[in-house]
């Protein structure tokens, strides 16, 4: 089920399949291509099991862009291609919320039955959620305080 929002389609979860649909089998001579961007803040994980086996998703705030049609999707759950999903889930499970942005692509592969494998390119350096670093950056961006008069600096210019 999807619902429309002002920033994009709200999806139950973001995966390559929910954002891009089915990726067709690739030919050996077909060039690799980027299919989506996904970015957000992972603050937790959600785990489950299906007939295909166990799965883990990241929870938080996520947005994805289908690079073929420009459609934007948002969701509180994201499942990334491996190994990125497992690597990020481990950091989040250790108590380290993570901001990330990736370009997900596909390239021909003889492995498996799909005829392709996913590629992942980091768009921005992953960062832990560090509110103090955010504040430090904000403070550095503020203008420097006005110089204090020499008399006040020596203690002679006390307020009355």
Return the higher-pLDDT residue of 148 and 78: 78
- pTM > 0.85: yes or no: no
DSSP code, position 111: S
Reported as half-sphere exposure (CB side, CA atoms, 13 A), residue 8 has a value of 18
List phi, psi (to 5°) of 48. -160, -175
Residue 125: band (very low, low, confident or very high) from pLDDT cuts 50, 70, 90: confident
pLDDT recorded at residue 31: 93
In this structure, how many other beta carbons lie within 10 angstroms of the beta carbon of residue 9? 17
Q: Which of 3-12, 31-40, 82-91 has the lowest mean pLDDT?
A: 3-12
């Amino acid at each position: 089920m999807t619902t429309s929002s002002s920033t994009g389609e709200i999806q139950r979860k973001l995966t390559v399949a929910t954002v891009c649909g089915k990726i067709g089998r690739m030919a050996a001579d077909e060039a690799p291509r980027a299919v989506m961007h996904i970015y957000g803040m992972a603050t937790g994980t959600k785990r489950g099991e299906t007939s295909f086996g166990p799965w883990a998703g990241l929870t938080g705030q996520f947005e994805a862009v289908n690079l073929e049609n420009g459609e934007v999707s948002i969701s509180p759950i994201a499942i990334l291609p491996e190994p990125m999903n497992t690597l990020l889930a481990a950091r989040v499970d250790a108590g380290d919320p993570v901001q990330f942005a990736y370009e997900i692509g596909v390239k021909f592969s003889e492995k498996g039955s799909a005829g392709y494998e996913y590629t992942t390119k980091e768009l921005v350096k992953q960062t832990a959620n560090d509110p103090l670093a955010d504040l430090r950056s904000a403070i550095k961006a503020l203008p420097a305080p006005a110089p204090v008069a020499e008399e006040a600096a020596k203690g002679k210019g006390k307020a009355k």
